[in-house]
Structure 1
């Protein structure tokens, strides 16, 4: 788990170093309510409109329909954009690091 957290950390840092920013808007899902994985739209530098469903789930009330958000995206793959929040960027890294540390400390005391 610690190895995975290091990989995720490096991957996110690399993404942040090369990403572009855009202003995005939170959308409603098909039923008209916000989904647990925020769905948002933004326009790239070249004028292409992109709609993305986040790969990180949040509480339904975290984002509101019509809310403006800062979006980070890789110009080569804008469909993999993310909302610029700590949770959206770092949640997986923090969870893996926490689990890895817990497992390491537990195994130290068991042996």
Structure 2
């Protein structure tokens, strides 16, 4: 998996410990444990958690893209978001679908 540097890039000087935990621990240690849970599955779990929590910003966008990069198909993403809509809420699903549609591109519209 490609090294994530978002924490250091955005907060490295202001919040160096948070940046370290984000980049080195969360993405470096936890996400790298693919023998325990695949990056694909971690991506789906993360998209689900963010949507359910109402975090409908660039974090969700990043993780939908990450899910696509880890092999989640447009059909699978659509099914996940549809399923989540009944638990997380219809407006959250609409927001997530807009992001997913943009990320998965014209071929799936």
Task: Indicate the structure with greater helix content.
Answer: 2
- Work out whether the TM-score is over 0.5: no
